[in-house]
Amino acid sequence: MGVFLNELFIGLSLASILLMVALGLAIIYGAMGVINLAHGQFVMLGAYGAWLVQSTMGLSLFVAIPLVFIAVALIGAFVERAVVHRLYRRPLDTILATWGIGIVIEQLVRLGLSSDARYVARPEFLDFGFEVAGAYVASYRLFIILFSLAMLLATWLVMYRTEFGMRLRAMVQNPEISRCYGISSRHVYALTFAYGAGLAGVAGALVSPLVSVTPTMGGSFVVDAFLVVIVGGVGSLLGASASALMIGEASAWLSFLFNETTGRILILLAVVVFIRFRPEGMFPVKVRR
């Protein structure tokens, strides 16, 4: 029972990290149709932001999280205004442009801060663990699980209980009619991209105490996040949550039964088979055209 609960908790913590990274990607991809290959670099910027706030100002990770969200959201807004908004309805060009932007961001960080690994300390009052029915529960990982649920709720409220969310959903349903009603696609898309980038930055800040902070750390996160978005259904918050839980738990159990490399291979094969028979994902968003 202890082994079962331990692996279950590890799977939940992995799923919460995947959900945090995938939320921003799901919003950008689902609402704007933009495949943002620089999303992993936004995660990396969030991790470096947490390190800078902690190392230069001596402030807690809790103080760093809102600062990181604002900073990375502003960077995302700049990227959208400078490059991405010129490439809507040109998916191949968008992929190449965001891939190039990600490389530029990564190299700028490497030039400015070097390639040395950085480390972020977790809050002292969360630096402990306890046992539940024989399973070890790390308090910081439990905090990440609760925080990811809070961010999911906040994102749902933004999407379905605010005027901005209503305008965004209108643009997704029918952009032409929405413009006829005075909805500015320019402002809606800029805010959407900024919000998605800010969520990626928060995810990077939260995961920074668990991994080494390096310029290349975002690559592994964005691959798994794309799997979450595709399996769940593009633009679906429910789908992103369900697929993050499935992939997180599968990663934990397959790594336990075999090893991490074999587990990733099996998950990728399962995703390929799934999208072969259900390419729209588990919970696709219905759109009028």
User: Which residues on adjacent β-strands are paired with residue 118?
Assistant: 213
Q: How far apart are CA 231 and CA 271, in angstroms?
A: 7
- Domain assignment present for residue 194? The answer is yes
Confidence (pLDDT) at 289:
46
Q: Is 26 exposed, middle or buried (0-12, 13-18, 19+ CB in 10 A)?
A: buried
**Cα-Cα end-to-end distance for the chain:** 51
Q: How far apart are CA 100 and CA 95, in angstroms?
A: 9
- Domain assignment present for residue 284? The answer is no
- Domain assignment present for residue 64? The answer is yes
- Domain assignment present for residue 236? The answer is no
User: Which residues on adjacent β-strands are paired with residue 136?
Assistant: 131
SS3 28: helix
Q: What is the DSSP letter of 124?
A: G
- Domain assignment present for residue 255? The answer is no
Q: Which two tokens stand for residue 124?
A: 């002292």
Please list the ranges in the chain whose pLDDT falls under 50.
Answer: 288-289
Domain range for 75: 2-217
Contact 194, 78 (CB under 8 A): no
Confidence (pLDDT) at 285:
67
Alpha-carbon separation of residue 107 from 103, 112, 193, 237 (angstroms): 6, 8, 22, 32
CA proximity to 203, closest of 10, 93, 47, 84: 47
- Domain assignment present for residue 152? The answer is yes
- Single pTM value for the model: 0.91
SS3 100: helix
Hey, how many other C-beta atoms are within 10 angstroms of the C-beta on 273?
10
How many domains does the chain divide into?
Answer: 1
- Domain assignment present for residue 171? The answer is yes
Confidence (pLDDT) at 286:
63
Confidence (pLDDT) at 287:
53
- Domain assignment present for residue 151? The answer is yes
